[in-house]
């Protein structure tokens, strides 16, 4: 979709609120976007934001139907493929989600969030080295996205690259807005303390 205008900016804002678990604010944004899409008579956007609302409410099967409809209207909408894949993950269809991530990347290769989410899934199922590739692709598109550095750090930690993980976690703290997300900051500081303990104990990185 166009990288300018209200709905694109609102999608970015919605992504951030979902990422950091601010469900009530995300619901408010999605409802506002749905009304704006109706005003603009944009059927693909209407279906997309209906899907977002269902996904936020935990109605993943219903959300998938709306995302499929959004894709029919806008075949180049990477976000619709991305969110369909996330719904499939929530329903336990892990392997079947990957083709939707890949199709989203194909139709919208400059959409950082889909690389991030594919990396997140790969990291969660133990494919840490593959996950790194996608986090790095996401960061090439959005180099100041703290949540991607957070996930990158987690993958590096899982690969026993403690120095790399430490650097990435520190990057998260630098990128977060001052005073924002104190809970996330506290978690990262605890992780940094754990890494320092490992480094001080002489644990080595895996070859």
Where does the chain hold its CATH 1.25.40.10 domain(s)? Answer: 1-109, 112-207
Position 8 pLDDT exceeds 80: no
CATH number of this structure's domain 1-109: 1.25.40.10
Position 5 pLDDT exceeds 60: no
Position 140 pLDDT exceeds 80: yes
If you average pLDDT over residues 11-15, what whole number do you get? 77
> What does the pLDDT read at residue 64?
98
Q: How many CB atoms lie within 10 A of CB 137?
A: 18
Q: What is the pTM of this model?
A: 0.89
Position 22 pLDDT exceeds 50: yes
> Whose structure tokens read 């480094």?
199
Say how far apart CA 64 and CA 54 lie, in whole Å: 9
> What does the pLDDT read at residue 15?
77
47, 69 contact by CB (below 8 A):
yes
- Nearest CA to 194 out of 167, 166, 164 is that of 166
The torsion angles phi and psi of 202, rounded to 5 degrees, stand at 90, 10
Of residues 136 and 183, more confidence is placed in 136
Position 23 pLDDT exceeds 60: yes
> What does the pLDDT read at residue 4?
39
User: Which pLDDT band holds residue 59 (cuts at 50, 70, 90)?
Assistant: very high
One of 1.25.40.10, 3.40.50.2300, 1.10.3720.10, 1.10.760.10 is the CATH number of 112-207, namely: 1.25.40.10
pLDDT digits (tens, 9 = 90+) for 70-126: 999 999 999 999 999 999 999 999 999 999 999 999 999 999 999 999 999 999 999
> Whose structure tokens read 């993980």?
165
């Amino acid at each position: 979709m166009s990288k300018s205008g209200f709905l694109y900016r609102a999608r970015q804002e919605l992504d951030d609120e979902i990422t950091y678990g601010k469900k009530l604010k995300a619901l408010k944004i999605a409802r506002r976007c749905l009304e704006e899409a109706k005003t603009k008579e944009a059927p693909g956007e209407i279906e997309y934001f209906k899907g977002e609302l269902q996904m936020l409410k935990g109605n993943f099967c219903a959300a998938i139907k709306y995302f499929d409809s959004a894709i029919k209207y806008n075949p180049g909408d990477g976000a619709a493929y991305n969110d369909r894949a996330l719904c499939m993950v929530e329903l336990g269809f892990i392997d079947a989600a990957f083709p939707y991530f890949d199709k989203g990347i194909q139709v919208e290769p400059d959409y950082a969030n889909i690389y991030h989410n594919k990396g997140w899934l790969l990291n969660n199922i133990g494919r840490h080295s593959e996950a790194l590739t996608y986090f790095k692709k996401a960061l090439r598109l959005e180099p100041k996205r703290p949540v991607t550095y957070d996930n990158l750090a987690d993958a590096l930690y899982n690969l026993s690259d403690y120095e790399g993980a430490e650097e990435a976690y520190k990057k998260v703290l630098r990128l977060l807005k001052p005073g924002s997300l104190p809970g996330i900051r506290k978690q990262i500081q605890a992780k940094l303390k754990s890494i320092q303990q490992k480094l001080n104990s002489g644990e080595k990185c895996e070859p």
